[in-house]
Amino acid sequence: MAALLRTLLDEPAVPDPPRRVWRDWVLLAVAYPTVVVEGIVNVNATWRPFSTVLALAFVTMLLWRRTHPLAVLVGSLAFVMIAERLSQALYGEPFEYYSVAFVLLVPYALFRWASGRHMAIGLGLMVVMLVSMLAGDWTGIGDAIGGTLVFFFPAGLGLEVRQIVGNRERDREQVKLRERELLARELHDTVAHHVSAIAIRAQAGRVVGSDDPAGALDALAVIEQEASRTLAEMRSIVGTLRGTDPAELAPQPRLDDLRGLADPAPSVGNERQLVVNVTIADDVGDVGTAVETALYRLSQEAITNARRHARDATLVSVDVGRDGDAVRLIVHDDGRPSSQPTETTTGYGLVGMTERAHLLGGTLTAGPCTEKGWRVEASIPRQAVGR
């Protein structure tokens, strides 16, 4: 129990909470007129002019509920308790200003954005306030239970939303981590191949060096070439994470392997009737091994997404061409508009694709086309720049 409590207290605040969003201005646009109208029509409200001013100040304070949730909670609870005590002392009646219901946004914000220590402090203050108000204006067990549920429900809701969003962010980071590990493995295998070639040539040069100096020079030339390519690939590894899994012995996919993804004729019994066409421009030229593998993996994932999600699609086109110092990949299907999940859904395929392109110094965009289908477009430097 002590360890659990310590873990909760050590929970950090959610980083970079939004300061102002459009919902805040909608809230003010609704809350200000509500407070003013109630100050005019609510005949049961005590000391109405002063209460209206206080309520307007309280509503304005809600603009800081995400960035300073505990301070806003303390101010809100102090406002409600002081107003209640003054009303009871001066008029002998409870403080009946219903616009104060906006205070329920504050517990939600506290448990959605604050640190664990601030949540514990805020919870204690909420309990103290609730007990104080029930003791000062007891109307029965039913009202007490109902008021308690209403008061603490926003806090529970904020905690649940915090958990859901946190889990989703952790899932996204896991996807990125797996993509980094996969890329690092592929780069490791490529570099290992070049190093093996260097070692073999060096051994051959030693054997023939005394009898065939020209052969030794040829071996040195090959070693120089392989070493240069190895250094280029090693630069791509910087910034990636290497997993503990053993290296795969199978060769990594190359640019020409893209043609193997083509499916010019639907298979017999294929209900989807999905044809895949692959076009590689002649001017693409020589690109880094990591880039070739990335183009293959991105195309493979985009085709898989089209098979799974594109409604009524019959054709997927994969086009690879040169764009200056970069290679541009475009994968497009002819399914219905918005036929695939966007990055705001729970699917993480696009997250991994974007991460792979970014690690190689490139970019990737994906989304529905204006007229028809879904389009994935990636641009990666021909010689990858590790990030």
Count of Cβ atoms closer than 10 Å to residue 28 Cβ: 15
Tens digit of each residue's pLDDT (9 = 90 or more) over 10-56 = 778 888 888 888 888 998 999 899 888 888 887 767 677 777 888 88
Quick one: the chain helix, strand, coil %, rounded to 5?
Answer: 60, 10, 30
d(CA 348, CA 359): 17
Whole-model pTM?
A: 0.51
Q: Are 13 and 113 in contact, with CB atoms under 8 Å apart?
A: yes
| Widest CA span in the chain | 114
For residue 218, the surrounding DSSP H or E stretch is helix 213-237
Q: Which residues pair with 278 in a beta bridge?
A: 318
Mean pLDDT of 173-187: 72
Q: Are 140 and 96 in contact, with CB atoms under 8 Å apart?
A: no
Q: Are 283 and 241 in contact, with CB atoms under 8 Å apart?
A: no
CATH of 255-381, one of 3.10.580.10, 3.30.565.10, 3.30.420.40, 3.30.70.100: 3.30.565.10
Strand runs labelled E in the chain: 275-280, 315-323, 326-333, 363-368, 374-381
**Nearest CA to 76 among 52, 48, 57?**
57
Backbone φ/ψ region at 324: left (φ over 0), alpha (ψ -120 to 50), beta: left
Token pair in block for residue 77 = 């609870």
Backbone φ/ψ region at 111: left (φ over 0), alpha (ψ -120 to 50), beta: alpha
**Nearest CA to 362 among 333, 385, 337?**
385
Describe the crossing of helices 213-237 and 289-309 by its angle, rounded to 10 degrees: 40
When pLDDT is cut at 50, 70 and 90, the band that residue 209 belongs to is low
Tens digit of each residue's pLDDT (9 = 90 or more) over 229-261 = 666 666 555 544 444 444 444 566 788 888 888
Count of Cβ atoms closer than 10 Å to residue 117 Cβ: 15
Q: Where are the domains of the chain?
A: 2-138, 255-381
Count of Cβ atoms closer than 10 Å to residue 85 Cβ: 14
pLDDT of residue 318: 93
pLDDT of residue 268: 47
